[in-house]
Structure 1
Amino acid sequence: MKIENIIKEALKDAIPYSQYRALVEGHVLNNSNTGAEVTEALANYTALNHQRMKRLDKKVELSPETQDFLESLSPNFSFLVITESWCGDAAHVIPVLNKIAEAGSIDLKLVLRDENEALMNEFLTNGSKSIAKLIIYNSESFEPIASWGPRPSTATQMVADEKAAKGALSPEFKQELQKWYNKDKGKTIEKDMIAVIKSIQ
């Protein structure tokens, strides 16, 4: 199947950010999670991520320069994000993407990874199904223009360095990564995304 058709197919079940937040909250209330595998650990991550997103929805503020740039756009592209409720990176990334989409009048929809295997397989990161993954596609032709993710550039480098040094990500490193996200407050995601958008204009 052509990539444009895979994107079109995925969009049939895609949901806006507000609906995704409600979906995650519903899983928290039911002590469950999205995805093919439901476990106590993934349900706990989902609850944690719900709180993270709630906090970021209130606290993330784009810089005045970013705001001005996005408001001047006439986007002929849309955002499609592949995610799952249990993914820590996604919880930090998606609220910022939503703020960017709102400021730039960019259509943002989300789909679940495990329900969209064909789409995920087109956007692997080093051969793995890493999320969150943003696909930027032409709003009329559905052709992909760019992709970004699963993490902001600085976090990507941190993960690469840790894997090179130790072969795997330790629980201690994962805590360090969370601290970095909290301190960064979405600024690196903002910077990365403006660079991507400028590159496709």
Structure 2
Amino acid sequence: MSTPVLSAERLAASYSYAAYRQLIDALQAEGKTTGPQQSELLTNYTRLNVQRMQRLDKTVQLLPELQEALARLTKPYIWLIITEGWCGDAAQIVPVLEAVAKASAGKITTHYVLRDENLDLIDQYLTAGGRSIPKLVVLAVDTLAEAAQWGPRPAPAQAMFLNLKSQNLPFEEFSTQLHGWYAKDKTQSTQRELVELLHTLQ
């Protein structure tokens, strides 16, 4: 029997996308962000992330091959997404995940949880020993067992991230280059990797 990644009760306590966005907006209004660490810097990152998500919510267009992969899904899945409001990569990726779910004709439902409130979950999905987010865990509806996983970022962005990290650049320069890559890529790499993930679920 497959082991559930989390309990049904815990899943029920997760956020919808709308509730996740509302939480971030409410915290922003108080000069705060998600998670236990609070600083002006993190609040400023979150403000930028809200703008990124708003833009992507309006502009993401799914690739034909992604739409085709969705159409071939034969059973429903739950997408559990581990994220935080201050995370720049999450802001670039979460709207894409939500757009895919919305285009799935009810086959995919999304549930959002905050990393720092669910360390036992993220610790099952470490990236090179780190709690990198966002992390997508695909769950079987009947068992809540893992069917697939993806994240924290598409392979070209991950390679760039590791390269920039190795250069010990100031964070502002590091962030500018990484988000510049996302802007040029226009969600294409993320979408193509999600096509591959969906093919594993056929």
Settle same-fold status: TM greater than 0.5.
yes
User: Which range moved further: 154-163 or 3-12?
Assistant: 3-12
1:3-42 aligned within 5 A: 4=4, 6=6, 8=8, 10-42=10-42
DSSP-derived class of the 1:80 partner: strand
Q: What is the CA distance between 1:68 and its match in structure 2?
A: 3.2
**CA shift in 2, pair 1:135/1:66, >3 Å:** same
**Structure 2 residue aligned with 1:138:** 140
- 2:190 counterpart of 1:189: yes
User: Which range moved further: 112-121 or 58-67?
Assistant: 58-67
Q: What is the CA distance between 1:56 and its match in structure 2?
A: 0.4
Number of paired residues?
199
CA contact (8 A) 2:82 2:112 kept: yes
In the TM superposition, structure 1's runs of 4+ consecutive aligned residues that sit over 6 Å from their partners are none
Q: What is the CA distance between 1:12 and its match in structure 2?
A: 3.2
CA contact (8 A) 2:4 2:144 kept: yes
- 2:79 counterpart of 1:79: yes
Q: Unpaired segments of 5 or more residues in structure 1? A: none
TM-score by length of 2: 0.91
Q: What is the CA distance between 1:86 and its match in structure 2?
A: 0.2
The superposition leaves residues 118-165 of structure 1 with CA deviations (integer Å, 9 ceiling, x where unpaired) of: 11111111111111011011111111121111111110111123334x
**CA shift in 2, pair 1:3/1:131, >3 Å:** farther
Q: What is the CA distance between 1:108 and its match in structure 2?
A: 0.5
Percent of pairs with identical residues: 39
Aligned partners of 1:3, 1:117: CA distance in 2, in Å? 18
- AA in 2 matched with 1:67: Q
CA contact (8 A) 1:83 1:133 kept: yes
Q: What is the CA distance between 1:168 and its match in structure 2?
A: 6.2
DSSP-derived class of the 2:6 partner: helix
CA contact (8 A) 1:133 1:147 kept: yes
User: Which range moved further: 118-127 or 52-61?
Assistant: 118-127
Q: What is the CA distance between 1:5 and its match in structure 2?
A: 5.4
CA contact (8 A) 2:136 2:151 kept: yes
DSSP-derived class of the 1:92 partner: helix
Aligned partners of 1:167, 1:127: CA distance in 2, in Å? 19
TM-score by length of 1: 0.91
Aligned partners of 2:159, 2:194: CA distance in 1, in Å? 17
CA contact (8 A) 2:70 2:198 kept: no
- 2:161 counterpart of 1:178: no
Aligned partners of 1:194, 1:5: CA distance in 2, in Å? 23
DSSP-derived class of the 2:4 partner: helix
User: Which structure carries more helix by proportion?
Assistant: 1
**Structure 2 residue aligned with 1:119:** 121
Q: Unpaired segments of 5 or more residues in structure 2? A: none
- AA in 2 matched with 1:134: L
Q: What is the CA distance between 1:76 and its match in structure 2?
A: 3.1
Q: What is the CA distance between 1:183 and its match in structure 2?
A: 1.4
Across the aligned residues of Structure 1 and Structure 2, the Cα RMSD in angstroms comes to 1.9
**CA shift in 2, pair 1:33/1:133, >3 Å:** same
DSSP-derived class of the 1:107 partner: strand
